[in-house]
Amino acid sequence: MTSAAVMPRAYRNLINGEWVEASTGRFFENRNPANADELIGMFPASAEDDVNQAVEAAQAAYEKWRLVPAPKRAEILFRAAQLLVLRKEDLARAMTQEMGKILTETRGDVQEAIDMTYYMAGEGRRLFGQTTPSELPNKFAMSVRQPVGVCGLITPWNFPMAIPSWKMMPALVCGNTVVLKPPADAPLSSLLLVQILAEAGLPPGVVNIVFGPGSAVGTPLAKHPGVPVVSFTGSTTVGRFIAEACAPKFKHCSLEMGGKNIILVMDDANLDLAVDGAIWGGFGTTGQRCTAASRVAVHKRVYKEFVERFVDRAKSLKVGDGLNSATEMGPCINKAQLEKVAEYVAIGTDEGAKLLTGGHRLADGAYAKGWFFEPTIFGDCSPRMRVAQEEIFGPVVSVIPMENLEEAVDIANGVPYGLSASIYTRDVNKAFAAARDLFTGIVYVNAPTIGAEIHLPFGGTKQTGNGHREAAIAAIDFYTEWKTIYIDYSDRLQRAQIDTSSFGTFGG
């Protein structure tokens, strides 16, 4: 534990440009999942009063921020992106310490924030509407985008800088203000991102950050009548609650939730490439991604060879502290998540899946103080087994034999989620057929189910989401309302759809 001589840093909420203590006076701990003895900091355990203060500040700031020209708003984002570039390594190391994934991945997380911030800075000069000919003479018709107001953003711990940037940057460039509720398991990265925005020149109150548990902060934020926009990334269970909280006020509500993603390995696949993809897709971020490849359906002709290679590679993965450059997979985020993974291993075994490797907590020696679990593979799985249907959010992959593309697509689509899917094949016809028939928001060909780029829409179908998308222009659509404007300069009453027959005929 931390000695009295080295007290942990106590962080605060940011409300109206000031760092303030929570109304409760209480804090919660942020600990390193690779070494639970390492206390990173103390964060305010806020409550509804703190949310109310943050929303009030955001509402007041909105009245001025929405009138700042979009290119000027974008200049602030551009400066923030430059600061992110300069501090990328420090930000990545801080992220690894608080949530565990390896440095190459946390660098990628920061890079996504950089990319998104630059991208949305560019949109400051491209918030395009339309102009179109009117059906009446001496009348001008156009549409413009307008901001909506205060945006309540609720973000997860697995991408604690990238995902807040996906939500904040489009919201800000469109002229909205923000109240951000970061995850309790990885609050520091979000705080550092908000600090950089403030340093880049964002006015007080435009972004506010309130720390605390979902029930005490997330719920009142989603329900607040002064918050017309709510964007949530997390579990389907919580997402359903958020949707219900938003429904009475007909709020803009974007939900990005669970996934049970699949890699299809056809009999003509490059097996070396497919194994690489299955390792990265299944065990990257310790399987703690909504896009993780937790299922692999393999053609029976190559099933045995693929499984042997896949298991050998998984056994060789170096598990450990993400700050160690040799580490290939870090810890689970916390004890509860590790226990959930262990429970699913027991479920898979009871269901009759064949445990091919892993299945145990790593708790000896260097692992003793962290939440480490072995890379785990189940073979000979039925598509209906719980381990092949339910999101585990850990380093567990179920391998399913299949006979042809039609069966593979049925297996892929036969889950409650529809985020990401992948097919490995050298047959262009099979690739295009799979891309057409897989009912997911994202499809990869000869690549794993993870690796989305910020200039394309991100999101899924079924219980993965509610139809909205993160990133790209799709995010601009979510954080704005369309306004259609008609300007009549005829100096007389004209009646659309009624006066159109009064123009006479041509050539008479």
Q: Which residues are designated catalytic? A: 256, 290
137/496 Cα distance (integer angstroms): 10
Neighbours of 99 (CB within 10 A): 33
Residues 6+ apart with CB under 8 A from 383: 297, 389, 400, 411, 414
Strands 35-44 and 262-265: unpaired
Q: Two tokens at 131? A: 């102009």
Q: Please report, for the chain, how many H helices and E strands are present, in that order.
A: 14, 23
Strands 376-379 and 207-209: unpaired
301/404 Cα distance (integer angstroms): 10
User: End-to-end distance of the chain based on CA atoms, in angstroms?
Assistant: 94
The phi, psi pair for 443, rounded to 5°, reads -130, 135
∠ CA 86-54-42 to the nearest 5 degrees?
60
279/267 Cα distance (integer angstroms): 19
SS3 state of residue 38? strand
